[in-house]
């Protein structure tokens, strides 16, 4: 699948339940359903947005909430590319077994 073009319409991708929450607050949300190409582009934007929010979080529950949002976007991206999250997790485990994870805090500074 080719890279998605950036969205040209205003707005941002929101969770499916957000329009209902807005309606319950007595407001009238203006929404539409994105076509597949726009959806991929907006998921990419949302991935960057959620990663920035996770990075800026101050710790504790705030970090966990942002990581949960980030994970939801990853799940949606996997589904948009025809895979379920179990496939992503399988690939993550394989890479961790072959190359390790990031818990060792190893920083590479180059080769001699």
pLDDT confidence tier of residue 4, bands split at 50, 70 and 90 = low
Determine, yes or no, domain membership for 90. Answer: yes
Cα separation of 109 and 112, whole Å? 10
Q: What is the CATH number of the domain that holds 25?
A: 1.10.287
- The total number of structural domains that make up the chain: 1
Determine, yes or no, domain membership for 109. Answer: no
Buried b (16+ CB within 10 A) or exposed e, 44-63: bbbeebbeebbeeeeeeeee
Determine, yes or no, domain membership for 32. Answer: yes
Looking at the chain, list the stretches that DSSP marks H as alpha helix, in order from N- to C-terminal side: 18-24, 36-56, 60-80, 85-99
pLDDT confidence tier of residue 1, bands split at 50, 70 and 90 = low
Q: Which domain holds residue 62?
A: 18-99
Query: Dihedrals φ, ψ of 21, to 5°?
Result: -65, -40
DSSP state of 3: P
Determine, yes or no, domain membership for 110. Answer: no
Contact in structure between 29 and 23 (CB atoms under 8 Å)? yes
Q: What is the dihedral of CA 44, 51, 15, 92, to 10 degrees?
A: 80
Determine, yes or no, domain membership for 86. Answer: yes
Query: How much is the pLDDT for 48?
Result: 97
Residue pLDDT, tens place only, 16-74? 999 999 999 999 999 999 999 999 999 999 999 999 999 999 999 999 999 999 999 99
Determine, yes or no, domain membership for 84. Answer: yes
Cα separation of 37 and 44, whole Å? 11
Determine, yes or no, domain membership for 64. Answer: yes
């Amino acid at each position: 699948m080719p890279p998605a073009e950036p969205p040209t319409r205003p707005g941002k991708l929101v969770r499916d339940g957000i329009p209902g929450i807005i309606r319950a607050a007595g407001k009238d949300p203006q929404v539409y359903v994105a076509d597949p190409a726009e959806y991929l582009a907006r998921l990419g934007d949302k991935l960057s947005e959620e990663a920035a929010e996770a990075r800026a979080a101050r710790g504790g529950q705030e970090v966990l909430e942002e990581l949960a949002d980030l994970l939801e976007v990853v799940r949606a991206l996997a589904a948009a590319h025809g895979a379920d999250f179990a496939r992503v997790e399988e690939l993550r485990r394989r890479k961790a077994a072959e190359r390790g994870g990031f818990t060792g805090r190893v920083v590479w500074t180059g080769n001699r």
